[in-house]
Amino acid sequence: MKEEEVKTYDFPVLRVENLDLAYADYQVLKDVTFEVADGTCLVVMGGSGCGKSTLLKALIGLLPPRKGNVLIRSDDLWSSEFEKRAEILRRFGVLFQGGALWSSMTLLENVMLPLETHTDLPESEVGQVAEYKLSLVGLAGFEQFYPSQLSGGMKKRAGLARAMALDPDILFFDEPSAGLDPLTSRKLDDLINELKESLGITFVVVSHDLSSIYEIADDSIFLDSNTKSLLERGDPAWLAENSVHEHVRSFMNRDSSTDQI
């Protein structure tokens, strides 16, 4: 991408600087740098095995980077001490691919647990907040259900309610539309857009579902498994038409004729 086209923000809620990621001796990504502005949705794209989920793990504190920084409101996630790190973790929520709800707890207890752990609210108030979060995602009335009693889409929505429990600045999503039918997937996209507009939450979404990407993304980065780096950044619609990389254009236009598998 040309230098003059790179977006810069005054107050990035998330800034990733020169991130190198590896599993033992296997390098997954190198020198990844990008930032996300407040109240926007950044989509992390790329083919299978390009390191999208690995990058997400580093951003949410599950995989320490070999090099580089993950700054959330200028606080470095990986070099912070225990107390500070716990405080940084409270500023974001994560929705995992399968929802990752705690299966031994009801939906209400799932949403209550982060509140009980990180706030001093009395139990009745914690319950009320949790009920409100569940109603935000359209799950009012399902408070006493266990995750095993829910459909895939409902699990994701419950996961979203739990991720929003502590009113985070950023929400990280791992493949939100994976395993969902087109209609449920579309509803989840609408919910993301609604929450972004009404609550001003910043979203970082890992996805390779094009219809969902075009629907929710304000900005995107494209990871490449060959160069193991961030190949390009920009608005998805712009990338589909104007990317200097044929692989990116092929990906964005779902065109296999010009791309090697």
Applying CB under 8 A, the residues found at the interface with other proteins are: 60-62, 85-86, 89-90, 92-94, 96-98, 100-103, 113-114, 117-118, 162, 166
SS3 (DSSP) at 62: coil
Which is closer to other proteins, CB of 22 or CB of 100? 100
Closest CA to 210 of 188, 180, 177, 243: 177
CB of 159 to other proteins, least distance (A): 8
Which is closer to other proteins, CB of 1 or CB of 108? 108
Cα–chain center distance at 100: 14
Which is closer to other proteins, CB of 108 or CB of 230? 108
β-bridge mates for residue 15, sequence order: 35, 71
Number of H helices, E strands in the chain: 9, 10
Which is closer to other proteins, CB of 70 or CB of 248? 70
DSSP structure class, residue 258: G
CB of 160 to other proteins, least distance (A): 12
Which is closer to other proteins, CB of 90 or CB of 186? 90
CB of 89 to other proteins, least distance (A): 4
Task: Please tell me the number of Cα atoms within 13 Å of 181 on its side-chain side.
Answer: 4
Alpha-carbon distance 130 to 213, whole Å?
29
Counting every residue, how long is the chain? 261
CB of 174 to other proteins, least distance (A): 9
Closest CA to 1 of 238, 233, 220: 233
CB of 59 to other proteins, least distance (A): 10
